[in-house]
Structure 1
């Protein structure tokens, strides 16, 4: 008979997510996951599968959290929704905050050649959700060239998030975000 789990799966997933987010899939070792979660590798893998399966679960969890953050944007006027996304880069974060690690999905793009098709599909779905969010905002604002401008906004967003990953500091995205905000105001 299997022993009952003696850990909070939600808390373990959150700890694993933070570890992958800070270090990436490749650099995250099973030892790092054990230390971060407080659960032995056997317990982790018996519950969530191998490292790849755990990563898939973490990406799904991250995407669900971002979807929840995107939902209120649908209630804002289009220009305000776009501005809110890029204004968020200016918010102060304390040293060591996860915001200084960028975006888990965008960071995963840096490792795509070393990941599997499931991860590629998860990243593509995440990107599509952002594009759809921007397209809806542009449509609500009666701004033309919706597809082109939504692609521009996704590219700018991912570029800003990539800057954070490269610099290890959320402030690295502010110049790009300010240019995007100014550009969007002219549409």
Structure 2
């Protein structure tokens, strides 16, 4: 080692880390990247760059504030979503359950109001059934008119075809 090496602490001032010092370095506070996280980030950048950027940001956030790794987070969110979908929640059943939950709420404690609400809901259900029936009947009516019109056009075509002279060029005489 030369004089510059001795003065600067060897290797031009660079500090040499041993295996135990490297693992506990202050700049390396966060957890290591798993293969899942690396693949997810690369695929995220390939598919749609903001996804890869979000994964990269999450890893930096995790290294600073802690938290689960990306695979654990994704697994937990997936399980939460499955639980929500399998439960009897209004989100899982779609719009019908949300509308029903608005109308078929728990009793209020006031018997008169609850009776009135039940009667009104029954009346509205009956009106809905009547509207659905009328819509079905109208669709059948329109279908019957279409069929009659198609039949009439077809019969007119056949009559014109029969009236054509047998000889020829396909045009009426």
TM-score class normalised by the smaller sequence: under 0.3
Larger RCO, structure (CA 8 Å, separation 6 or more): 1
Instruction: Work out which of the two has the higher radius of gyration on C-alpha atoms and give 1 or 2.
Output: 2
